[in-house]
């Protein structure tokens, strides 16, 4: 900013910075000297300069909100749709996944069930869809079935059942990973059902499991609870069955091959 600015303009500049700070538009206040210099150099109109200044504040605010949503979501990896190699997993319906990534299923509180053996990419796809929802401005929370059951059990012991139910009912999208991988505690199936019931027809849930839908009764040891849970989950749902090669093992093999090539290249 020019050192020859008239005193009255300098005073006006300080007042403007003060106004921006008072309104907590701190990024705009910090950018003000740069924008004013650019406005003079490029002979911007007042409207253009003001739009550019406020754009800086809007972008900074959106970045902070995104960061906050990502912290709350607790996603295990920063995967996006571009990271998933559909060619490496022919068992995945790419067209269906890309349709789900539009997030239209959130509009009518539909669910997504990713079903298949270990290693085929279920968790990665769940994270991909969850990240799309976070980027779109939705509140998302990721947990495993075992963690959810443990939190509910602890809340019940501490007389916080209502609060934990409100917590799991809150996110626009709840991801429950690894259902069936570990046995749920005695009241785990009941807790999971109550979470699903709280969200029924209100918010969407993505669930990954290695247990085929026909085997849920045996997996949970309670046919009534399993049937009630499936009834709510499947009422509005996309079921993505994955019956292909291990995506995870192929990824590890590719990584090992690259390392081996690198070592061989250096040795040569």
Specify the higher pLDDT residue, 167 or 251: 167
Q: Is 84 left (phi over 0), alpha (psi -120 to 50) or beta?
A: beta
Query: Which pLDDT score is estimated for 245?
Result: 73
pLDDT in tens, 206-221: 999 999 998 988 777 7
In SS3 terms, 92-161 reads as: CCHHHHHHHCCCHHHHCCCEEEEECCCCCCHHHHHHHHHHHHHHCCCCEEEEEHHHHHHHHHHHHHCCCH
Q: How far apart are CA 183 and CA 220, in angstroms?
A: 8
| Mean pLDDT, the chain, integer | 89
pLDDT tens readout for residues 107-155: 999 999 999 999 999 999 999 999 999 999 999 999 999 999 999 999 9
What global pTM score does this model have? 0.84
Going along the chain from its start, the domains and CATH numbers come out as: 7-67 (no CATH), 81-250 (3.40.50.300)
Residue 2 reports pLDDT greater than 90: no
pLDDT band at 7 (very low <50, low <70, confident <90, very high): low
Q: In this structure, how many other beta carbons lie within 10 angstroms of the beta carbon of residue 168?
A: 24
* CA–CA dist 8, 23 (Å, integer): 23
User: Could you give the CA distance from residue 91 to residue 188 in angstroms, rounded to a whole number?
Assistant: 31
Average pLDDT over residues 25-54: 95
Task: Place 260 in a pLDDT band, splitting at 50, 70 and 90.
Answer: very low
Q: Is the pLDDT of residue 37 over 60?
A: yes
């Amino acid at each position: 900013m020019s050192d020859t600015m008239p005193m009255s303009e300098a005073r006006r500049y300080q007042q403007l910075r003060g106004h921006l700070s008072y309104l907590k538009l701190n990024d705009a206040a910090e950018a003000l000297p740069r924008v004013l210099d650019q406005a003079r150099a490029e002979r911007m109109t007042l409207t253009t300069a003001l739009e550019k200044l406020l754009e800086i504040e809007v972008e900074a605010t959106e970045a902070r909100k995104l960061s906050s949503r990502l912290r709350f979501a607790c996603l295990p990896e920063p995967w996006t749709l571009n990271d998933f190699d559909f060619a490496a997993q022919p068992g995945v319906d790419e067209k269906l996944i890309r349709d789900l990534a539009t997030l239209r299923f959130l509009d009518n509180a539909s669910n997504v069930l990713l079903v298949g053996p270990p290693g085929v990419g279920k968790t990665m796809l769940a994270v991909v869809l969850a990240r799309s929802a976070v980027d779109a401005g939705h509140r998302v929370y990721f947990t495993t079935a075992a963690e959810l059951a443990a939190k509910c059990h602890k809340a019940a012991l501490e007389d916080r059942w209502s609060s934990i139910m409100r917590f799991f009912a809150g996110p626009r999208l709840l991801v429950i990973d690894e259902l069936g991988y570990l046995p749920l505690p005695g009241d785990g199936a009941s807790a999971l059902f109550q979470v699903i019931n709280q969200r029924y027809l209100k918010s969407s849930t993505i669930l990954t499991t290695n247990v085929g839908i026909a085997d849920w009764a045996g997996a949970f040891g309670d046919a009534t609870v399993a049937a009630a849970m499936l009834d709510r989950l499947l009422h509005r749902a996309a079921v993505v069955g994955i019956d292909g090669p291990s995506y995870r093992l192929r990824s590890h093999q590719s990584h090992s091959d690259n390392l081996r090539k690198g070592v061989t290249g250096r040795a040569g």
